[in-house]
Amino acid sequence: MAVFTIAAFLGKAGISVGNSKSGALVTNCYQADTNVDGKYDSDDTLAGSGQRFTEAILRP
C-alpha cells in the first residue's frame, strides 16, 4: 500500500531491498493508474490535481 501511495502522489515509486549477506540490491519501480483509464501516463498523479487519495482508490 505504501508503494501505491507514493506512486499516486509522485507518479512513480521505487522500492529497494538489499541482502545483508550477499550485498545484492534489487530495485522495483511502480506506477499507479490513479485515473483508472488503463494507461500509465503523466495524468496518473494526484499531486496538484485537487483530488483526494480515497477517490482514486474507491473509484470503480
pLDDT tens, position by position, 2-60: 888 888 888 788 889 999 999 999 999 888 887 778 888 777 777 755 555 555 555 55
Q: ∠ CA 52-13-15 to the nearest 5 degrees?
A: 130
Say how many C-beta atoms besides its own lie within 10 A of residue 51's C-beta.
Answer: 15
Confidence at residue 45, expressed as pLDDT on a 0 to 100 scale? 76
**pTM for the full predicted model:** 0.57
50 near 36, Cβ under 8 Å?
Answer: no
